[in-house]
Structure 1
Amino acid sequence: SNANNLPSPSRNKYQNARRVLNSAETQNLPGRESQLQELREFFSNHLESQTSGSLYVSGQPGTGKTACLSLLLRDPDFSKRLQRVYINCTSIASVGAVYKKLCTELQLKVSGRTERDHLEAIQRHLKTAKRMLLLVLDEIDQLCTSRQEVLYTIFEWPALPGSRILLVGIANSLDLTDRALMRLNARCELKPRLMHFPPYSKQQIVEIFKSRLAEAEVLDVFPPVTLQLLAAKVSAISGDVRRALDIGRRVVEIAEQQKRDGEKEFNMKALQLEGKDAVEAKEKQDTLKPVQVTQVAAVLNKVYGASQNLEEDIEASFPLQQKLMLCTLVLMLRNERNKDISMGRLHEVYRRVCAKRNILALDQAEFTGTVDLVETRGILRIMRKKEPRLHKVLLQWDEEEVHAALSDKQLIASILSDTACLSK
């Protein structure tokens, strides 16, 4: 294991627990052994035979797609034999700019400044490169356009005569290749291999927590029942381990804070004690207070807005603000020509929807948090930009599914007929 995960004596157990419950790159990916094995074999086989190939990796956020690939990108076995380029497509200004970005990464000389010039430079490079290229395009659905020419062009690179490229596209949705890349499926030699990362199960989330906490020797911070509760809830809603780790860190913060508050009270009492009693009081204060079930429940309640009763159907309880936000989104999608909806514009219309119903609207920051939470349910997707106001909000479900989930017919109907709120 990497040295930076070893416990540091100067930090307390809570800090060590928080440090390992982050979503930074890790050497150890429990629950993803078979995917790692499959990726490794895909890379090795193509390296041995020096042939091109393409792979399409799908799975919801927080299911380990990027983590597995970055682990292999760092593997010296591959890094010595491959030229590696990783591009997150959310960081690209426009779809065609992906060629320019790739030229920069490959340090290619380009004859002109157009998209075409950059594309030609790449294709020249692919035909003559000494080393095989591994190109990982993360969040590849950002490159979708109505005619899909950019995606087609890129997925056709492995078939260029003389090219040796391993192309890996990563996206949330499983059906991008069917929807967007029909033409490729028709040509067998271009058909990308598909690989799906399912949401993490309850047991896998427990294992991930245990392996990280054990690495930092702080397993006793989370009693088994607290891990079971946290994992049960997250796996039932999204199976997104990043979300589970965020919740874990928050729970540790609360436990630490409550222990501190307890200590203050204790010190007041200790002042009134003498000798042996004071020593005992001091020792009692230094013991670690593990995370409590009530603390986990409180954070889950805040994050998912559902009741404490975990047996109750999670989907049945959509908090009001989430309903208002979703209805506003559907209202805009139905009535506005521009389907590119920014977080800022969504908030503006939502504020009008609330004002009209005498509901106190959330401010921009809280609103962004609410949209984030709904994203963890897979209902919508956020395309992140530098500034939260400019994030794009995309509905993943169709409107019928949203209606069924919201189960509040009067409210939905009243908002969806309220086109006055759209006025610019």
Structure 2
Amino acid sequence: MNCNDFKERIADFAVGEPIPEPMQKHLKGCADCAAELQAARRVLDAVTPRSVVEPSPDFDARILAAACTTPSRPSRLRRIFRWAGSVAATAAVVAVAVTFSLRTPAYAARKYFGSAVAAMSDLRTFRMELRVRTRPHENFSFTDPRLDFVPHTVTVEYGDTLRWRVEKPGRIVVDDGRTTRMWCPEAGQGFFAPTGGLNAVEELEILLDPRLLMLSEQRHAAHTKGANYEVDEEGPTVRLRVVMPAQGDFRQSDYALNSSISESNTLREYRFDKASGRLTEVRITALLPGGDRVVLLESDRIAYDEPVDRAALTAVPGGIEWIDLSCGPSGNRLAGISAREAATRILKAMNSWDETLLDEAFCYYGAQVRELLKSVYKGAVILSVDKPVRSGDYAGVFVPCEILRADGKSDRLMMALRNDNSEKSWVVDGGF
């Protein structure tokens, strides 16, 4: 009797089947297997459906009609980063996949889920090649149905620690298990923070570990309102379809609507291998006004347990100006005031290029980017600063501004400001 023999039966034991005496002896002497069985039982108990759900006959028509009654697309959104990108919506989609079956008794759903968990327990590597409608240099969360596809690659190594790399042509994120680093090659600027302190890949984070799609994120699914789903078994695969309304608060402004997957009305489609529980296909489609549909994200290839070069996986380039995101603003000259007043002070400081105030306001911008901003906005005169608005799931506010640049051109900006730092000081998070 060994651990592999026990793990092959862990799904059966988790759903209540008797444990043979030889395996009981192994269980008593193996802390790892005991912990895994206990965890499987907790998860299965948490995700077991208490009843069989049947979708209404008009499910598709009713939900799609409701999801498509949204305002038009706002101006494009620029944000340098987000501290708390929302993954709850994606989690809601995926976690349900092996937890619920609309045509299967609860016990069968438990056992299928348990088998999938056991089959995935020895996963060593994961790689996904996908396409997303975005811009190469933008945040990983940013999407726009009007844009062309940009190739992305997600590579993960499991083991003593989780190591991963997510990249597209203009932005790369690497985590070596201790530090997360994100950089934009063309800008020569990057950010870093301890692992867990920089949500750099935002909504794509849920794709880093397919096991977590089925386990830890189920609790998010239980608390996500407005999600409607159906599950079908198609031969050797299980297909999950979810209609998810845009998440966030759009009462003040629809500026952020359709600027990310979670802030869009979407149809998410996932396929899983029935035998192993492994994710085999992902497609997320934006549901636009008038009934139009545009694919926002689509997997091209998903592979498991391919060899991974660890050195290449976690490699970072030289010549990057690294900004420590754990440090925060360098002062509090923009603390204790309204966002509108902060925006006004920042724009006035840009006129004379007051570096003392701008060092605080642009603390997350490197020297090269600041020099670029200086070349464009030094000498600019304020024409208007309007009332700040909240939109979507952004943690800060957007301040509509209009300025007249020194070259005679006028710019309308939506300055993104946030003050969720230890100093409670407003900092610029995008908009230029």
After TM superposition, the score normalised by the length of structure 1 is 0.20
Quick check: which one's helix share is greater? 1
Greater share of strand: 2
